[in-house]
Structure 1
């Protein structure tokens, strides 16, 4: 991404512009509901753990149901999923408004409805964010991702203040009702949007197979796995700022709803700047250096909040934490979406959202328990310690640079095999690739084969092996198994740039050059065959 202005150029796309603009209002409503729910809880109890549980309730569904939501978004019509999720959130916000107006909102009811509101959020989020690829050109995707982060943080910067004003002026009923109204524009935008049909010659993935495919892909892709682990740690450490804003406002600063809104506004304004800076600096500063600077900034902010009782100093700390935390998360968000191929993009994104939100939920519970046992300052000190320790994860779980979008390869040799006699459920399918490798290039060949193993397993193979012919030492056999013919077809469609490069390098090592000989067999069930 060359400049921030490049991101805004994406708004020339009318469909994206309409959805992006209206999504700002939906995000505003989300923050207004979050602020209102947290403030409502402070009116029912002074227990820090209960107040922090509001954030846990809203974000916990991202941890529990994120992968399910991402799988649905990859397999089914994303537009329909988005519309259903938005309607569900509207219904829950309306129910909160009614119960609040009737003075029937108990802590249990509030937490339960916040949890369900979060379920609607995770149903909406991965389908919406991955629909970007259907709204803009491929080279505009990073800019559109950055713009979505900016829209979220614009709402984050103003939503809490608006929520605080509505709470002070008209009460919780009006604040919850505002959330209902805020969802209407983006719902209309998605009703008007007509995405292009995704044409594929392959059958749709089965739901549970889709979930297991995502788990395999993440497990066998170290760069993505490291990114997600770092995401969770950041979520745990960073969850304290928003979760404890009500307590900082009331206990540390002896303020009310207005101070609470101002704190979250400072956090949100910083977040907007952090998203802009991340878009600018990610091409000139190494990812690990950005994350290290962000961690130091967040740790410094947490310590400042722990030891200060000055409104201006604490506001500055919230502002800096918003810049640093969002810069780190925006970098990781772009990395995940650009690293994951299209077939698993929504699932990888939902894993990212699950871990950042799940980390925030776990963090809110952890810091709430710490504050209940000790005090607010101790919780902020512990959060700062985790931020600082996360810097050393660059040695155990490094994050590499953001790659280009994997390219889609043309249909090749696998599809030349006729499947007229094979149903999609036939299997197991055994694939063998036969190579002839000279002794002087064996070491290089084995090194490439080690990488090939991870690629095959992450794309759908259930087992993989490499063997050598005893009678013919230059003859090597790569063998992998797919449970069904359907799985083999999907594995072939998932081939990406890395696999193509590997295949080209391996082919050059063959005696005489050229591709390997490929044999595909289907296992035969002998259990029903009797021998007379």
Structure 2
């Protein structure tokens, strides 16, 4: 009806809303949680889509698109912040890249589906389907929260951890795999609590680069447990130690608190040694 000028006005409206949303987001975040922002923005988007589908009053559509732009920026910024605050510094770039790839893939697939629905039925039908999809996703926000509880302390604890292990065998960075074996002596009455605590440590080991992890109980000594995990190379093992966060250190210290032997649990490091098949036993 309004041609290129009207289309430009609609784009300007949603763009202005996006800019105002970016400027206002710090104040919004001070009053609402991340999940509340996303839920509110989803409701605003539903209303925006329905107004665009069924109402043709230019002034109202422009006003609603302004709110839609505000909601759009609030949502994307909140997701970006959540991704960056839930991962330690050493993996943030990779995690953000994976998130952006997933986000863009969703945009591409959603655009194709939206276009197919609009071509098969009509533009209002496609807008209504999009609104219905957002409404259907709202209950999931109650179950799958963006950020739950208090954020873990993801600052580096490399300076608080022990120094690099001393070795007498000459090692190259690419040597490996490396088997790390840690021996614990615990009170048999605390076995269940120990196993539960070390299960949390398992997640830390695997996340930081371990390929395999296992906990073994000495059949001849009920007080003795051995934690084993396998790392790809000596260089990767040293990197794993530097990836330790303050939160990870607290998990490790919780496990070590069960140890009743003298000093800290004993750590042994084994480097894989290739064997000639003809001489193998």
1:430/1:522 contact within 8 Å kept:
yes
- 1:346-378 CA-to-partner distances (Å, cap 9, x unmatched) read 111112222222222222111111111111111
The Cα shift of 1:512 comes to 5.6
2:182/2:265 contact within 8 Å kept:
yes
Task: Please report the RMSD computed on the Cα atoms of aligned residues, expressed in angstroms.
Answer: 2.3
The Cα shift of 1:421 comes to 1.2
Structure 2 counterpart SS, 1:442: helix
The Cα shift of 1:419 comes to 7.1
1:306/1:432 Cα in 2 relative to 1: closer, same or farther (>3 Å)? same
Other-structure match for 2:172: 423
Other-structure match for 2:155: 407
Structure 1 residue runs of 5 or longer lacking an equivalent are 1-253
Q: Where is the strand percentage greater, Structure 1 or Structure 2?
A: 2
Give the 5 Å matches for 1:344-493: 344-401=91-148, 403=151, 406-411=154-159, 412-413=161-162, 415-418=164-167, 421-493=170-242
2:183/2:267 contact within 8 Å kept:
yes
- 1:68-127 CA-to-partner distances (Å, cap 9, x unmatched) read xxxxxxxxxxxxxxxxxxxxxxxxxxxxxxxxxxxxxxxxxxxxxxxxxxxxxxxxxxxx
1:291/1:391 contact within 8 Å kept:
no
Among 501, 505, 509, the alignment partner of 2:254 is 505
Q: Distance in 2 between matches of 1:378 and 1:508?
A: 61
Structure 2 residue runs of 5 or longer lacking an equivalent are none
1:403/1:373 Cα in 2 relative to 1: closer, same or farther (>3 Å)? same
1:459/1:397 Cα in 2 relative to 1: closer, same or farther (>3 Å)? same
1:266/1:318 contact within 8 Å kept:
yes
| TM-score using structure 2 length | 0.90
Structure 1 counterpart SS, 2:207: helix
How many residue pairs match? The answer is: 279
In our comparison, the structure showing a higher alpha carbon Rg is 2
Among 319, 322, 329, the alignment partner of 2:76 is 329
The Cα shift of 1:414 comes to 6.3
Give the 5 Å matches for 1:158-237: none
Q: Which moved more, 1:277-286 or 1:448-457?
A: 277-286
The Cα shift of 1:528 comes to 5.5
1:326/1:520 Cα in 2 relative to 1: closer, same or farther (>3 Å)? same
Q: Distance in 2 between matches of 1:494 and 1:406?
A: 10
Other-structure match for 2:245: 496
Among 300, 304, 321, the alignment partner of 2:51 is 304
Q: Where is the helix percentage greater, Structure 1 or Structure 2?
A: 1
1:507/1:291 Cα in 2 relative to 1: closer, same or farther (>3 Å)? same
